[in-house]
């Protein structure tokens, strides 16, 4: 099972000091958090995409590439890539490039986001959000799997004899998770393609999460990708830890009470009872997250949000270290021990390459000049053109 952290890179005032980090400081804190995540044994670092204040994550690929250059094992993911307002051609190019430069340590969470104004900013209509998500992903899926694509749809200019470059590393596309918290159509889409489904349930009761995951599992089996319990599932999570629950609650309460995403809503006690947010000792976090598989079945990826609500960087780093050294080793051991042998691990590039080679034979990485619209007329055999 994979464990990791994700960030939406919000800039929120620290309610205890009033201090607000600069954009430059916030970006550097994200890099520091990712590097520490690898050092303490976490598997994944995921970064959200936003194009409006108070967020600084307008270019996840740039940030993830910078992190990738300073890490060796960490899987670099997104939380979320906006499949609705990004051009599928640019997604195909950018993430294949990142895949090559990081040796395959890349996957993506596709989603529609939760910021309505982003649609007109990028020339789209929020009323067609679901249709955009479905059509754009269909094109992206083909761009990564077909050397030459002819395509025509509703929302984008047609493509004729188009080849996306670079081609995916080793001929294997980055693994895709489809992220949704409320849309059964996205769970259906994930199941149809045999992709993963990530339910970032940090604001939702477990009853809702259970229903969404179960729908995805049932449809995954319907489409013939495997049994329902073999579907690839990821969850979100939140935790704040100190040695005692009393100390954790006392320290975290002002951040909870004043953060824009929490303030004015349910009390801290009500919110922790109704959602995955767990404020207490590492043992309490372990106990809480061991129950998740009882609700949704054995799953493959658990991500935690740690750097939100204006928490200072020193505190966030302490939380990541506690997560990696005290919480995750126990969760990993216990959840892996209970998982049936026929439930697959989370996909990795190496595993997907091995599976493809076992079925189809080894991939030929030779560059093919004849793919796509080579308007120069260049051919591999034309030595005079080299």
Rounded CA separation 160/47 (Å):
33
Which residue reads 């026929």 in tokens? Answer: 342
Asked if residues 325 and 285 have their Cβ atoms less than 8 Å apart, the reply is: no
The whole-number average pLDDT for the span 333-337 is 96
Alpha helices in 57-149 (DSSP H): 60-68, 88-101, 118-121, 129-145
pLDDT digits (tens, 9 = 90+) for 301-318: 999 999 999 999 999 999
pLDDT of residue 265 exceeding 90: no
What is the residue-averaged pLDDT of the chain? Answer: 93
Q: Please state which of the ranges 110-124, 154-168, 283-297 shows the lowest mean pLDDT.
A: 110-124
49: its two tokens: 């995409």
Taking the CA atoms of 339, 342, 347 and 351 in sequence, report the sign of the dihedral they define: positive
pLDDT of residue 292 exceeding 80: yes
CA atoms within 13 A on the CB side of 321: 8
pLDDT digits (tens, 9 = 90+) for 206-246: 999 999 999 999 999 999 999 999 999 999 999 999 999 99
Whole-number percent of the chain with pLDDT over 90: 83
pLDDT of residue 329 exceeding 60: yes
Look up the pTM and report it. 0.93
pLDDT band with cut points at 50, 70 and 90 for residue 367: confident
pLDDT attached to residue 386: 37
The whole-number average pLDDT for the span 329-340 is 96
Q: Residue 55 in 3-state DSSP? A: strand
Q: Please state which of the ranges 74-78, 264-268, 295-299 shows the lowest mean pLDDT.
A: 264-268
pLDDT digits (tens, 9 = 90+) for 159-173: 999 999 999 999 999
- Determine the length of the chain: 386
The closest of 190, 308, 181 to 239, measured between CA atoms, is 308
Q: Omega of the bond prior to 166 within 30 degrees of 0, cis?
A: yes
| Element (DSSP H or E) covering residue 355 | helix 349-360
3-state secondary structure 158-198: CEEEECCCCCCHHHCCCEEEEECCCCHHHHHHHHHHCCEEE
Asked if residues 343 and 46 have their Cβ atoms less than 8 Å apart, the reply is: no
Taking the CA atoms of 351, 331, 178 and 320 in sequence, report the sign of the dihedral they define: negative
pLDDT attached to residue 70: 98
Whole-number percent of the chain with pLDDT over 70: 96
CA distances (Å), 138 to each of 3, 27, 124, 156, 160, in order? Answer: 29, 32, 18, 12, 16
Q: CATH second-level architecture of 2-385? A: Alpha-Beta Barrel (3.20)
Q: Using the 8-state DSSP alphabet, how is residue 345 labeled?
A: P
How far from each other are the two terminal CA atoms of the chain, in whole angstroms?
48
Q: Please state which of the ranges 48-57, 131-140, 289-298, 366-375 shows the lowest mean pLDDT.
A: 366-375
pLDDT of residue 382 exceeding 50: no
145: its two tokens: 């799997």
pLDDT attached to residue 373: 61
Return the number of other C-beta atoms located less than 10 Å from residue 310's C-beta: 23
């Amino acid at each position: 099972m994979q464990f990791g952290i994700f960030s939406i890179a919000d800039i929120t005032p620290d309610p205890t000091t009033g201090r607000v980090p600069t954009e430059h400081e916030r970006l550097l804190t994200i890099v520091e958090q990712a590097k520490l995540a690898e050092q303490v044994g976490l598997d994944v670092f995921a970064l959200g995409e936003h194009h409006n204040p108070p967020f600084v994550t307008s270019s996840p690929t740039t940030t993830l590439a910078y992190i990738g250059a300073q890490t060796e094992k960490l899987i670099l993911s997104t939380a979320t890539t906006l499949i609705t307002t990004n051009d599928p051609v640019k997604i195909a190019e950018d993430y294949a490039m990142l895949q090559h430069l990081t040796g395959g340590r890349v996957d993506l969470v596709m989603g529609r986001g939760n910021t309505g104004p982003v649609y007109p900013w990028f020339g789209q209509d929020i009323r067609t959000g679901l249709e955009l998500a479905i059509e754009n992903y269909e094109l992206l899926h083909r761009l990564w799997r077909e050397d030459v694509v002819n395509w025509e749809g509703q929302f984008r200019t047609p493509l004729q004899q188009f080849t996306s470059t670079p081609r995916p590393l080793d001929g294997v596309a980055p693994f895709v998770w489809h992220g949704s918290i409320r849309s059964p159509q996205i769970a259906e889409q994930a199941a149809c393609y045999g992709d993963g489904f990530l339910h970032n349930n940090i604001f939702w009761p477990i009853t809702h999460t259970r229903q969404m995951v179960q729908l995805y599992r049932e449809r995954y089996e319907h489409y013939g990708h495997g049994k329902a319990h073999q579907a690839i599932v990821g969850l979100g999570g939140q935790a704040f830890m100190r040695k005692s629950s009393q100390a954790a609650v006392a320290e975290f309460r002002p951040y909870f009470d004043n953060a824009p995403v929490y303030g004015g809503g349910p009390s801290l006690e009500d919110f922790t009872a109704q959602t995955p947010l767990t404020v207490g000792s590492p043992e309490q976090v372990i106990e809480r997250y061991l129950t998740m598989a009882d609700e949704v079945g054995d799953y493959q990826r658990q991500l935690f949000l740690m750097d939100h609500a204006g928490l200072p960087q020193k505190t966030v780093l302490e939380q990541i270290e506690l997560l990696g050294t005290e919480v995750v080793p126990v969760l990993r051991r216990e959840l892996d021990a209970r998982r049936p042998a026929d439930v697959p691990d989370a996909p990795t590039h190496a595993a997907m390459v091995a599976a493809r080679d076992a079925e189809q034979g080894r991939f030929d990485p030779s560059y093919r000049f004849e793919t796509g619209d080579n308007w120069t007329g260049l051919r591999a055999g034309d030595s005079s053109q080299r």
